[in-house]
Amino acid sequence: MLFKRPLSLLLILTCLILSLPLVADLNISSRVLDKIEAQYNKFARKRVEDWQKLVAENKDLPEAEKLELVNQFFNTNVLFIDDIDLWNKKDYWATPLEMLSIGGGDCEDYSIAKYFTLKELGVDEDKLRITYVKAKELNQAHMVLTYFKTKRSVPLVLDNLITDIKPATQRNDLTPVYSFNGTGLWLAKSRGEGQRVGGSSRLSLWQDLEKRMQKQAEEATSE
């Protein structure tokens, strides 16, 4: 997706959003699953059930395997579709549950869903960054999820554009701009952690997303 907003308006996954519960820890009730199947189809329900199963059965795996599982799951089960075609909006940030229910999303949605799912699997959010980059071959802004094994590590890049997880040093097609998670914002350096420039801040633009995620979390466990 091409981002045209100034930096201040692109700080969108803030503490407000990134600290929200992931659909009540994925304890999604059968009533909600029935609703998803009725609104979409049986394949939508299966995607959500498979998501629940992925998290429930893989919390004890090494982190490297968690990264592979989550990256493959979303890249395989979700089609890339622009917001305007999927939601009839120029920019819409879907919750992970919305993304899996409808079966489509853009680069932001992939990154958000992978972030939340890895957190749910027990990966420390300090190791995860939502990262804005410039995709050189596409000549447009792009979003990926990056993983730092340690603060000094070269990050691994989880990208919906390719199937393999590669270190940033092997992704010469991407130029990092900045990254953030629920605890802070970093201006990127070429391939490392970057310079911390502050904490994430609340933006009214994302109150709608907050409300949707809170509503889904409340509904997920209700019978």
| Percentage above 70 pLDDT, the chain | 75
pLDDT digits (tens, 9 = 90+) for 54-80: 999 999 999 999 999 999 999 999 999
At position 195, the amino acid (one-letter code) is Q
Dihedral (Cα; 98, 102, 103, 109), 10-degree rounding: -40
Q: Do residues 154 and 167 touch, judged by C-beta distance below 8 A?
A: yes
Residue 206: inside a domain: yes
Distance between terminal CA atoms of the chain? Answer: 38
**Backbone φ, ψ for residue 80 (5° rounding):** -75, 120
Q: Is the pLDDT of residue 207 over 90?
A: no
Residue 179 pLDDT exceeds 50: yes
Q: CB-side exposure of 186: number of CA atoms within 13 Å?
A: 24
1 part of a folded domain: no
**Which residues touch 42 (CB under 8 Å, ≥6 apart)?**
none
The label of the residue with tokens 């982190």 reads: 63
Assess if residue 210 is contained within a domain.
yes
The more confident residue out of 154 and 25 is: 154
The domain total for the chain is 1
Q: Give the model's pLDDT for residue 191.
A: 53
Beta strands 104-105 and 79-80 are parallel
pLDDT in tens, 128-177: 998 989 999 989 999 999 999 998 899 999 999 999 999 999 999 999 98
- Please give the full DSSP string across 41-108, using - where no structure is assigned: -HHHHHHHHHHHHHHHH-TTS-HHHHHHHHHHHHHHHSEE--HHHHTSSSS----HHHHHHHTEE-HH
Residue 129, domain CATH: 3.10.620.30
Residues written for the chain = 223
Domain that holds residue 15: 7-220
66, two tokens: 């968690």
- Residue 2 counted as domain residue: no
pLDDT computed for residue 24 by the predictor: 45
